[in-house]
Structure 1
Amino acid sequence: MDIGETAIGIIRLALAEDLGVDGDITTVAACSPDARGKAVIVSREPCVIAGGPIAAKVFELAGDGASYRALVADGDAVSPDEIIARVEGPLSAILAGERTALNFLCHLCGIATLTARLVDIAKPHGVKIMDTRKTNPGMRPLEKYAVAMGGGINHRQGLFDGVIIKDNHIAAAGGIEIAVRRVRNAYGDSFPIEVEATTLDEVREAIRAGADIVMFDNMPPEMIREALALISGKARTEVSGGVTGENLSSYVDIGVDAISLGFITHSAPASNLSLEIE
């Protein structure tokens, strides 16, 4: 996937939001229209880089276009005051694209950095850190890309490419067993069937119904241990809900296969990056 090409639509929206109809009125007034310039993008703190191709596309689309040369690959860690990219071209394009490019970079680097920290905690125990559909509108492909750059695993992209039978599906269908049966009849083995369980009784029902994956929803570690004993290897397992960066270590050594975390996309702190004209 070319993430820069994927992002073109939201990049155009972001540039239009910032430039409006009249463009960068400060640069138009203060700078020569023919001026060319060079700039560097600098990390002000340790972080994992994500979003270079997106920033490159921003500068390409801003004004008359400027070139972006990444010095650090997405997925690599950087130190404070490290130059991660160079930008060159019409000064008006550099300044027009500056904030939009940094908004993308700071947000996506923040996601990648947080994900990498959590992966470091979980990986020694063989547990995968996964994202969710709790993403900012229009930003899902980019935010999931950043998770992958941080070493995390992408869960389904949307409702169209994976089956998860959640509480409202169970209520609407009339129970776990009937919901699983209907999905299996509809899709056969095309999709693994994942079932959300909030109680041990629901875990038992999911296993009887033939679920491929059981998601433990907002279960404390003690209950998850009991649930794992009930499953006894008959299905893959995932924890979702109630897990934070602070208590993650209490969940990784229980024996689950994966932990899905919404906050790594919707609440990751932005990394501190800046653009400086040389």
Structure 2
Amino acid sequence: MSQPHLPPLPHLLVEPLLRTAFLEDLGRAGDVTTDSVVPAGLRFEAVVASRQPGVAAGIDVARLAFQLYDPTLDVTVERPDGAALAPGDVVMRVRGSARSILSAERVALNLACRMSGIATATSSLVEIARAHGKAHVVCTRKTTPGLRAIEKHAVRAGGGSNHRFGLDDAVLIKDNHIAVAGGVVPAIRAAKAHAGHMVKIEVEVDTLDQLHEAMAEGVDAVLLDNMGPELLRQAVGIVGGRALTEASGRINRETIGPIAASGVDLISVGWITHSAPILDLGLDAVTTL
């Protein structure tokens, strides 16, 4: 399940990530291999193509990487973020300085492969969830430090949705908060006293008793942690539409179907951002110009 009309991220948001990546890769002397082997005036056209089936993501990030490295490069996106890919599909064409293309290649592909892998993993779960219920697949804050914005963008490219971007997005009272506060009820009451009127409150519960406490206090969402399908069905019945229900914990391709069938609104999955394998994209020289 892809998302073919996803707008790209603002360049101002992506450029700092790319500059950091290029500084890391170029080191103190630049690309000594390319500068010594490739003639300075050589120009060619290259394509970035998929080696595997999947969902494209990070294609606009890769385009910006090439053009940030060398603004004279001509880059054409053939399959944008959210597009379904088959082996051999060309996602991008790059024309211009051979030195620039080869020196920018690894940064561009590292990010595009990473993001496309996330989009592909997300898409596989979204398809299963939609076949069994109404639940939306959402990501978590378990992202690569510094890459959260583009990894969450990749989740959207795969048809998923985003949970919190950061700690300041909303109140999410988890088990350790509850332990420190002395219980579900005091934790919720403290959060309500502190949070502004625009801030939503979600509370994590492990048992149906905790769920009853949370619903009695009134919250916007409940995170049903590590509950099996039958317990989730009971929890959804208890909530009765008074709050959003979110299932979380050890969710994968094998378990997501029965979890979605329980009737929950959201299914949060950490591995789509912290452990999804990359989608293999490669750059091939086509012709000299």
How big is each residue's C-alpha offset from its partner over 1:50-100, in whole Å with a ceiling of 9 and x where there is no partner? Answer: 112211111112256523210112111021101111001211110011111
Describe the SS at the equivalent of 2:137.
strand
Task: Please tell me whether the aligned partners of residues 64 and 93 of structure 1 are also in contact (alpha carbons under 8 angstroms).
Answer: no
User: Is residue 2:14 matched to residue 1:7?
Assistant: yes
What TM-score do the two structures reach when normalised by structure 2? 0.92
**Distance in 2 of aligned mates of 1:55 and 1:275:** 11
**Distance in 2 of aligned mates of 1:172 and 1:52:** 44
How big is each residue's C-alpha offset from its partner over 1:121-161, in whole Å with a ceiling of 9 and x where there is no partner? Answer: 11241110000000000010000000001110111100011
**Distance in 2 of aligned mates of 1:26 and 1:147:** 36
Letter in 2 for 1:200: L
For this pair of structures, how many residues does the alignment match? Answer: 278
Letter in 1 for 2:15: I
- Shift in Å at residue 243 of structure 1? 1.2
Describe the SS at the equivalent of 1:7.
helix
- Shift in Å at residue 219 of structure 1? 1.3
**Distance in 2 of aligned mates of 1:252 and 1:226:** 13
Describe the SS at the equivalent of 1:22.
coil
Partner of 2:232: 224
Describe the SS at the equivalent of 2:94.
strand
**Distance in 2 of aligned mates of 1:210 and 1:118:** 31
The partner residue of 1:148 within 117, 142, 156 is: 156
The partner residue of 2:190 within 179, 182, 185 is: 182
What aligned pairs does 1:8-157 form with structure 2 within 5 A after superposition? 8-62=15-69, 66-124=73-131, 125-157=133-165
Partner of 1:199: 207
- Shift in Å at residue 3 of structure 1? 4.1
- Shift in Å at residue 196 of structure 1? 0.2
Describe the SS at the equivalent of 1:68.
strand
The partner residue of 1:262 within 256, 270, 284 is: 270
Task: Please tell me whether the aligned partners of residues 128 and 253 of structure 2 are also in contact (alpha carbons under 8 angstroms).
Answer: no
- Shift in Å at residue 228 of structure 1? 2.2
Task: Please tell me whether the aligned partners of residues 129 and 257 of structure 2 are also in contact (alpha carbons under 8 angstroms).
Answer: yes
User: Is residue 2:282 matched to residue 1:274?
Assistant: yes
**Distance in 2 of aligned mates of 1:155 and 1:226:** 24
**Distance in 2 of aligned mates of 1:234 and 1:63:** 54
Partner of 2:3: none
Letter in 2 for 1:37: F
Q: Which runs of 5+ in 2 are unaligned?
A: 1-7
Task: Please tell me whether the aligned partners of residues 123 and 158 of structure 2 are also in contact (alpha carbons under 8 angstroms).
Answer: yes
How big is each residue's C-alpha offset from its partner over 1:25-51, in whole Å with a ceiling of 9 and x where there is no partner? Answer: 111111111222210001111111111
Letter in 1 for 2:74: S
**Distance in 1 of aligned mates of 2:31 and 2:70:** 10
Describe the SS at the equivalent of 2:39.
coil
Partner of 1:158: 166
Q: CA RMSD in A?
A: 1.5
How big is each residue's C-alpha offset from its partner over 1:191-235, in whole Å with a ceiling of 9 and x where there is no partner? Answer: 221000011111111111112211111112222222223223222
Q: Which runs of 5+ in 1 are unaligned?
A: none
**Distance in 1 of aligned mates of 2:86 and 2:212:** 49
